[in-house]
Chains A and B, each alone.
Chain A
Amino acid sequence: QKEVEQNSGPLSVPEGAIASLNCTYSDRVSQSFFWYRQYSGKSPELIMSIYSNGDKEDGRFTAQLNKASQYVSLLIRDSQPSDSATYLCAVRFTGRRALTFGSGTRLQVQP
């Protein structure tokens, strides 16, 4: 069974720190990887997509992909209380049209 795994948290970091969120997946040939943010009571919002090994930066966010080790991570620099949310890792496994989501990591940024 193809799976995406995340630590449920909560991950607590002080304001201004770097938050590091990790995700592992089961299918080595997967091509597309995504990070979504979901605030309580709201729907998921796409933050980053990454398709090749290495780092991809967008503002305070950096996604890192290592296909050999089958993990993808999200770094949030200068964390703000408004970043407090659940972060969902998603993978498009070969042969499936829908993304497979992890259960999410809850991030708490302490003021």
Chain B
Amino acid sequence: GAVVSQHPSRVICKSGTSVKIECRSLDFQATTMFWYRQFPKQSLMLMATSNEGSKATYEQGVEKDKFLINHASLTLSTLTVTSAHPEDSSFYICSARGPGGSDEQYFGPGTRLTVT
């Protein structure tokens, strides 16, 4: 149980375009999901907390107009990187709190974004 999927696993896009990443909880409902970014050889950086049916909560320094988060259902959250630039190239990972609101977080496999 507690499986989280992400799509796509890898995406290459041109500078100035937008990219949407989907995060799904496959076998449980997730009222809260989290979006992280990780640069090579660096630690996880929390970008935002995604709340089903309400606005996301962004961490300090993360541009909410650039990283649009939508959590429209109990099993799906999406992150859209708008007007992507090469410095947005990174490994984006979502996670969800486990069934029953447990404190455990289960991670999706991640999406590697390359902006050319």
B-side interface residues, number (CB < 8 Å): 18
A108 to B85, CA, bound (A): 35
Of the listed residues B43, B46, B93, the one surrounded by the most CB atoms of chain A closer than 10 A to its CB is: B43
A36 to B43, CA, bound (A): 12
Asked if A103 meets B103 with Cβ closer than 8 Å, knowing A43-B93, A97-B32, A97-B49, the reply is no
Give the nearest-CB partner of B59 in chain A. Answer: A98
Min CB distance, B58 to chain A, in Å? Answer: 12
Q: Which range contains the number of A residues in contact with the other chain?
A: 20 to 34
29 A-B pairs with C-beta separation under 8 A: A31-B103, A32-B103, A34-B103, A34-B104, A34-B105, A42-B109, A42-B110, A43-B93, A43-B107, A43-B108, A44-B44, A44-B93, A46-B105, A46-B106, A88-B44, A90-B105, A92-B103, A97-B32, A97-B49, A97-B97, A98-B34, A98-B46, A98-B49, A98-B105, A99-B103, A99-B105, A101-B44, A102-B43, A104-B43
